[in-house]
Amino acid sequence: MNRRQFLGTGAAGLALSQAAAFADGKPPRVGLIGCGWYGKVDLLRLIQVAPVDVVSLCDVDKKMLAEAADIVAGRQQSKKKPRTYADYRDMLKEKDLDIVLVDTPDHWHALPMIAAVEAGVDVWVQKPISVDVSEGQAMVAAARKHKRVVQVGTQRRSTPHLIEARDRVVKEGKLGKLAFVEIYCYYHMRARENPPDSKPPEHLDYAMWTGPAPKRPYNKLVHPRSWRAFMRYGNGIVGDMCVHMLDMVRWMLDLGWPTRVSSTGGIFVDKKSKADITDTQTATFDFPNLPVVWQHRSWGEADDPRFPWGATLYGDKGTLKLDVHKYEYTPLGRKEPTLTGKALYEYEKYPEDEREKDLERHVASAVRGHMRDFLHAIGTRGKPVADIEQGYISTTSCILANLSMQLGRSLTWDAEKQRIARDDEANKLLSRPYREPWVHPQA
């Protein structure tokens, strides 16, 4: 698939989506929960591909909320400034939304997503879908019970050059017998600071920001983006970065659940930072006849500096290397790749991409494609490419890796029972305790 073919397909998909989703002649009414970095990235891509009406924004940071409202008013067709809310429950009580985007920190994904589908809204929720396995089970159950479309923000499934690699290399059998996959991240992304605790800023409702997570004194590392340094709000680099690459490989190779997960790691290099996530970790996801092995190091050099975060698929006929910028296929015995592809930039069609603050420009086309797929699923009432159940599988697999490391043993997953086989101690860890008055959702 070349660029022209992809753009043509995308335009056709959008036309179909609009014909189905906008049959009543009214653009969908949209609300965003979480107005930080990726909340704005996701919402502004949605505005680019469809004539939506963004009517509501919600965030616990008053400053961030006001800035987002101004940006949205300048970008949406109506030029209207959305209403703003500090509590997502108040936003949902208005009952005037068709679509809600949940772009909060990870510990706040489950409750708003479930509340939104209970309110009859279709939902986009960022990855990983949950911080524990039981949350994910409850999210899938709620989506199915209320018959809502839920798209997970694992946009590798909608990335043009990765779709091309799947179609030109994997589906055409150029790899031959595929028997090993490596996925990895060598970004120096782990927070290294050690600032003192302090009072939260006046514009931040820190108690609401903390929500169901354990309460601790405020530290500037947690907001707005460094919260990923702490396990109480997420699942470390495995939950943040491995989930993308594992999900991409599962989609590309049509894999379901791993049967066994094992992991080792720890904080081996940077012991001075306040961060409590691992700086070094390896995890093996055993699928039938195919081990998928993850590795991250937030220090040192990448194995291949040209692919610092990506995947390598090994077959007996060739090797496929992929990341968010490119792919390369090299047949066995050749030193140079014979098939390559690069990320799609669409500046001629979306010139605002070049000016947008904090936008990962190489990812913009993928998010737009993911939004088009979401809208199409809403119109047809079908499942999107990153349906909530797919997000649950990829998220849970990563959580199991962390639990394996914590317990010091491999975990066998029973996909039918949705439990860890023959391990009562491990099963007790499938649900994290919630801080009162928040109540953990149940499937």
Q: What is the pLDDT of residues 274-316, one digit of tens each?
A: 999 999 999 999 999 999 999 999 999 999 999 999 999 999 9
- pLDDT of residue 19 exceeding 90, the answer is no
pLDDT greater than 70 at residue 152: yes
Residue 5 is predicted with a pLDDT of 44
pTM: 0.95
Instruction: Give pLDDT, residue 76.
Output: 95
CATH number of 3-156: 3.40.50.720
Mean pLDDT of the chain: 94
Give the pLDDT score at 3. 39
pLDDT-based confidence at 25, cuts 50/70/90? confident
The percentage of residues in the chain with a pLDDT greater than 90, rounded to a whole number, is 93
The pLDDT assigned to 9 comes to 45
- pLDDT of 371 > 60? The answer is yes
Tell me: pLDDT of 16 over 50.
no
16/34 Cα distance (integer angstroms):
29
pLDDT of residue 157: 98
Mean local confidence (pLDDT), 231-255:
98
pLDDT of residue 7: 41
Cα torsion for 411, 412, 417, 419, to the nearest 10°? Answer: 0
CATH 3.40.50.720 boundaries in the chain:
3-156
Q: How confident is the model at residue 17 (pLDDT cuts 50, 70, 90)?
A: very low
Is the Cα torsion angle 408, 134, 415, 312 positive or negative in sign?
Answer: negative
pLDDT at 426 over 50: yes
For the chain, give the percent of residues with pLDDT over 70. 95
Which CATH fold would you assign to the domain 167-339+389-430? Answer: Dihydrodipicolinate Reductase; domain 2 (3.30.360)
Amino acid at 227: W
Q: For position 24, what pLDDT does the model report? A: 64
Mean pLDDT of 155-179: 98
Pairing of strands 280-287, 260-266: antiparallel
Residues of the chain with CATH 3.30.360.10: 167-339+389-430
Q: Is the pLDDT of residue 270 over 90?
A: yes
10 Å CB burial of residue 125 (0-12, 13-18, 19+) is buried
